[in-house]
């Protein structure tokens, strides 16, 4: 006798419940505790564990019995079901969910037909490996239902199977005549509701589908009952059901043939029911009952369609809102980009304008020196050089003017358009002739074609600038021995101006950007330090702005390597009813004929103020022969000099360090001893608005840099002569004067002031009363009227109109019963807060308090 012990790793595995012979030398030992099987070779004493770790459902449990089938492998009865080790090495596990009566399998035997019999705690189970089907024999079939371990045996002679239980032994004779296979039909009995009502279901003897059972909306639940029609073995049936189709799992019913559903959702269902018999060997049939749970009115198809339409509408609204949001975001991005581009453009323009202002002083010095040299020499060869210098100074000055025109367009446009009949031939011929010499030097053929007697209503100054810039552009891009043709005709009540030139043409990609302000500035950046001129890009932009101001169109067409043609179309416009009086100003580059310097033994004194010593020297050298000139480098120095002398004339710059020229003008005009001294402004601030600002501040003349020293000399002589004539005027006999409010005033000035007062009172109720209306009524231009009014009264017209309004308001408050609001409208003021504030500033009290004063 020998003893063998087995170990699995560090664990002892020596508890056995079952044993079976596998071969002459091999035993299979069934372990307890879930360790599975040991294969033990009794000859070699070797052993190994049969791997059962691949089980998928549950733990192995104690291995209680073993049965080796003749054809289908090894069957192991365990405390957790049946284990089948197939000849191919696969492991299968069966339990109650597969149909076994109970998971506690005490004994396993194979009958003569290859079926496997299992003894469990709840009866016998027959397993057919061919059909994979289980049949259970329970209390209704057997007197013994609970079986014991190791109480099973197969008779080798008769093939009978014996199983011992707690209250007897059961044997099975597989050679006996088998029972006929009978499968009863399943009948759905009816549907019951919680309120006690029921709905019968028609009987069917086949598996065909029944008509659907319709459940009304709002039902809390319902119960479906069914039965397998078998009056002998009815207790051997176990029912299971599923709801929802073939993919749903089966649910077993415990000893009942009723299934209850609570709170069913609306919809269409299929209730599948099957049963299992403990005594029948056949596959279960499935019986189906269609069930339709009707939805409430808000869950019907019509309601769903409405919901779908509403949802679609909401989706469309959301999409529209998202699109609007996206569009707004895109607009914001574009606006930010445009603002950034505008800022960059503004910085560039300011840069070019600042450079232009800086160039004015050197050009003034060059031009002034050149004029002095030209006046001092008589050599024709040297005079040619001075003429070339003069032309180049003029060219640079034109470029500066174009840059400033560019700034002018950006800020305020071109101003008022004056439409008058214009002789087109007479206007174009001088412009074309001005390019004749340059064209001849380069062998360029210059042609002008104008319809005879062509007259068109337009602004002559605008049209001149358009022609000048288009011709300049054509001259730049026309090669030697090329051709330029200017054509002016009228077609279909439209004036058409074409400027055609031969040459390299413009690439199609650049045609769309010819008039683009951003591309023009880019071009200026690139050409700034090169020999190529960028002024023509500015010229084209200015042309575009001028044409738009005339309500016309400008276009360009070109063929690369052949030609370029600019076309300007101007529509017909009615001329102005009467010519607009235009105040002519002296040119900054040409002298005024007919005036000579005042030459007396006692020379007139001139005070020159500029922070550039070279300009001071130039003006002093130009005027010192005829006048006593005193130079000052700052406004403070000039004010100190004015404390020592009263000059006959002042020449000043605007932009200076510290106080500027406008401050000086204001100090002079505010001094009763100096206010009559003429003032000439010489400045690099050349725009129309800047000139108006200087003239309105009190300047008598405004010359822009670079200026001609001859023009400066002529202007000085004219103003000094005018001042002396004014002195003679005021030295007239006393009868020529009248006393107004304690002040002596010349009678002509008194008549002028009376006319002004009458005109103001006539239109006092108009809130938009402007200087232009008064000036037009009195026959003055606005500028001339302003200068004369300030000269006579010492105030600006705007100040005078304001004073008349409030004096009239005060009179109405004292002499009438009009309300304050009515008084305001009588004097042309609609802003209540402004009226109260200014009235209190003038009279020290509010309007109502003023009326109550004695």
Q: What is the CATH number of the domain that holds 208?
A: 2.60.40.10
630 and 720 both lie in a single domain: yes
In a domain, 50, yes or no: yes
Task: Say what the pLDDT of residue 211 is.
Answer: 85
Given 249, 269, 295, the domain boundary residue is: 295
In a domain, 380, yes or no: no
Q: Which of 581, 586, 585 is nearest to 780 (CA)?
A: 581
Q: Which of 132, 131, 130, 134 is nearest to 105 (CA)?
A: 134
Beta bridge partners of 78: 63, 81
Q: How many angstroms separate the Cα of 164 from the Cα of each of 30, 110, 123, 529?
A: 20, 16, 11, 118
Q: Which of 388, 406, 392, 535 is nearest to 471 (CA)?
A: 535
In a domain, 798, yes or no: yes
d(CA 444, CA 628): 52
Task: Say what the pLDDT of residue 619 is.
Answer: 87
44 and 135 both lie in a single domain: yes
Task: Say what the pLDDT of residue 593 is.
Answer: 34
Domain with residue 712: its CATH number is 3.40.50.2300
Task: Say what the pLDDT of residue 373 is.
Answer: 80
pLDDT digit string (tens) for 411-470?
Answer: 555 567 888 999 998 899 988 888 888 888 889 999 999 988 899 999 888 898 889 889
144 and 279 both lie in a single domain: no
229 and 133 both lie in a single domain: no
726 and 746 both lie in a single domain: no
In a domain, 719, yes or no: yes
Q: Is the pTM of this model over 0.95?
A: no
Domain with residue 533: its CATH number is 3.30.565.10
Q: Is residue 706 within 8 Å of 397, Cβ to Cβ?
A: yes
d(CA 835, CA 851): 15
* Pairing mode of beta strands 251-252, 11-12: unpaired
In a domain, 578, yes or no: no
Domain with residue 57: its CATH number is 2.130.10.10
484 and 632 both lie in a single domain: no
Residue ranges of the chain whose pLDDT lies below 50: 281-283, 521, 524-536, 578-601, 733-743
Given 172, 203, 225, the domain boundary residue is: 172
d(CA 506, CA 515): 13
107 and 226 both lie in a single domain: no
The whole-angstrom distance between residue 762's C-alpha and the CA centroid of its chain comes to 54
The whole-angstrom distance between residue 247's C-alpha and the CA centroid of its chain comes to 52
257 and 158 both lie in a single domain: no
Task: Say what the pLDDT of residue 561 is.
Answer: 87
* Pairing mode of beta strands 287-293, 213-215: parallel
Task: Say what the pLDDT of residue 616 is.
Answer: 85
Q: Is residue 108 within 8 Å of 76, Cβ to Cβ?
A: yes
Task: Say what the pLDDT of residue 524 is.
Answer: 45
109 and 166 both lie in a single domain: yes
Task: Say what the pLDDT of residue 734 is.
Answer: 41
26 and 128 both lie in a single domain: yes
Residue 65: partners with Cβ closer than 8 Å, 6 or more residues away: 17, 18, 30, 76, 77, 105, 106, 107, 108, 149, 150, 152
In a domain, 261, yes or no: yes
Number of folded domains that form the chain: 5
Q: How far apart are the first and last CA of the chain?
A: 151
Q: Is residue 479 within 8 Å of 502, Cβ to Cβ?
A: yes
711 and 754 both lie in a single domain: no
Given 708, 731, 754, the domain boundary residue is: 731
In a domain, 582, yes or no: no
Q: How many angstroms separate the Cα of 688 from the Cα of each of 353, 404, 739?
A: 14, 10, 39
727 and 748 both lie in a single domain: no
Instruction: Please give the backbone phi and psi of residue 237, each rounded to the nearest 5 degrees, phi first.
Output: -100, 135
The whole-angstrom distance between residue 686's C-alpha and the CA centroid of its chain comes to 40
Domain of residue 614: give its range.
Answer: 605-731
In a domain, 720, yes or no: yes
């Amino acid at each position: 006798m020998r003893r063998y012990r087995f170990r699995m790793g560090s664990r002892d595995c020596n508890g056995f419940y079952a044993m079976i012979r596998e071969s002459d030398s091999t035993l299979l030992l069934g372990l307890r505790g879930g360790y599975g099987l040991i294969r033990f070779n009794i000859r070699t004493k070797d052993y190994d564990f049969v791997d059962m770790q691949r089980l998928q459902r549950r733990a192995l449990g104690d291995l209680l019995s073993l049965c080796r089938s003749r054809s289908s492998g090894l069957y192991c009865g365990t405390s957790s079901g049946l284990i089948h080790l197939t000849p191919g090495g696969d492991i299968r596990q069966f339990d109650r969910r597969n149909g076994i009566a109970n998971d506690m399998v005490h004994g396993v035997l194979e009958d003569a037909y290859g079926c496997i019999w299992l003894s469990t705690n709840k009866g016998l189970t027959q397993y057919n490996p061919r059909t994979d089907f289980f049949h259970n024999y329970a209390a209704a079939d057997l007197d013994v239902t609970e079986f014991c371990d190791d109480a099973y045996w197969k008779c080798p002679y008769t093939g009978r199977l014996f199983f011992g239980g707690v209250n007897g032994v059961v044997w099975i004779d597989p050679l006996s005549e088998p029972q006929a296979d009978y499968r009863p039909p399943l009948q759905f009995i009816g549907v019951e509701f919680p309120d006690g009502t029921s709905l019968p279901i028609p009987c069917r003897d086949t598996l065909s589908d029944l008509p659907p059972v319709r459940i009304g909306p709002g039902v809390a639940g319902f119960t479906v009952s069914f039965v397998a029609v078998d009056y002998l073995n009815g207790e051997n049936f176990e029912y299971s059901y599923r709801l929802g189709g073939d993919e749903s799992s089966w649910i077993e019913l415990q000893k009942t043939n009723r299934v209850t559903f609570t709170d069913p959702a609306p919809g269409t269902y299929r209730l599948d029911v099957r049963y299992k018999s403990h005594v029948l060997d056949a596959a279960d049939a499935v019986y189906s009952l269609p069930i339709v749970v009707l939805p409430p009115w808000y869950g019907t198809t019509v309601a769903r369609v409405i919901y779908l339409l509403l949802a679609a509408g909401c989706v469309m609204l959301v999409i529209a809102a998202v699109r609007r949001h996206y569009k707004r975001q895109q607009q914001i991005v574009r606006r930010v980009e445009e603002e950034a581009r505008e800022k960059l453009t503004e910085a560039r323009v300011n840069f070019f304008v600042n450079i232009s202002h800086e160039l004015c002083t050197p050009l003034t010095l060059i031009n002034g020196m050149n004029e002095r040299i030209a006046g001092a020499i008589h050599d024709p060869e040297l005079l040619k050089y001075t003429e070339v210098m003069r032309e180049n100074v003029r060219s640079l000055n034109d470029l500066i003017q174009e840059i400033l025109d560019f700034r002018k367009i950006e800020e305020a446009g071109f101003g008022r358009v004056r439409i008058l009949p214009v002789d087109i031939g007479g206007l174009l011929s001088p412009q074309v002739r001005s390019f004749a010499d340059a064209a001849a030097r380069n062998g360029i053929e210059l042609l002008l074609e104008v319809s005879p007697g062509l007259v068109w209503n337009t602004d002559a100054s605008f049209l001149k600038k358009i022609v000048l810039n288009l011709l300049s552009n054509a001259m730049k891009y026309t090669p030697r021995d090329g051709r330029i043709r200017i054509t002016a005709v009228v077609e279909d009540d439209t004036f058409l101006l074409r400027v055609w030139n031969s040459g390299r043409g413009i690439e199609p990609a650049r045609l769309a950007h010819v008039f683009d302000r951003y591309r023009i500035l880019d071009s200026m950046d690139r050409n700034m330090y090169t020999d190529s001129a960028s002024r023509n890009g500015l010229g084209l932009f200015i042309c575009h702005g001028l044409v738009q101001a005339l309500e016309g169109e400008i276009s360009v067409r070109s063929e690369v390597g052949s030609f370029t043609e600019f076309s300007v179309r101007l529509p017909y416009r009615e001329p102005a009813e009467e010519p607009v009086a235009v105040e002519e100003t002296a040119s900054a580059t040409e002298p005024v004929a007919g005036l000579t310097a005042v030459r007396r033994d006692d020379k007139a004194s001139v005070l020159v103020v500029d922070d550039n010593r070279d300009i001071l020297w130039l003006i002093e050298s130009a005027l010192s022969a005829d006048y006593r000139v005193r130079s000052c480098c700052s406004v403070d120095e000039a004010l100190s000099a004015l404390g020592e002398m009263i000059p006959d004339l002042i020449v000043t710059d605007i932009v200076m360090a510290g106080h500027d020229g406008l401050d000086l003008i204001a100090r002079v005009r505010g001094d009763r001893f100096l206010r009559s001294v003429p003032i000439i402004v010489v400045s690099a601030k050349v725009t129309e608005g800047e000139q108006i600002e200087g003239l309105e501040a009190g300047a008598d003349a405004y010359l822009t840099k670079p200026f001609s020293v001859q023009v400066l000399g002529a202007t000085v002589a004219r103003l000094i002569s005018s001042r002396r004539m004014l002195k003679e005027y005021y030295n007239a006999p006393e009868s020529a004067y009248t006393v107004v409010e304690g002040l002596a005033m010349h009678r002509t000035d008194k008549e002028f002031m009376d006319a002004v007062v009458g005109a103001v009172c006539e239109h006092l109720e108009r809130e938009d009363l402007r200087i232009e209306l008064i000036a037009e009524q009195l026959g003055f231009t606005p500028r001339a009227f302003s200068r004369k009014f300030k000269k006579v009264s010492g105030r600006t017209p705007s100040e005078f109109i304001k004073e008349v309004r409030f004096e009239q308001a005060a009179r109405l408050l004292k002499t009438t019963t009009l309300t304050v609001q009515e008084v305001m409208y009588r004097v042309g003021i609609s802003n209540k807060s402004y009226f109260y504030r200014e009235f209190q500033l003038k009279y020290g009290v509010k309007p109502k308090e003023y009326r109550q004063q004695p």
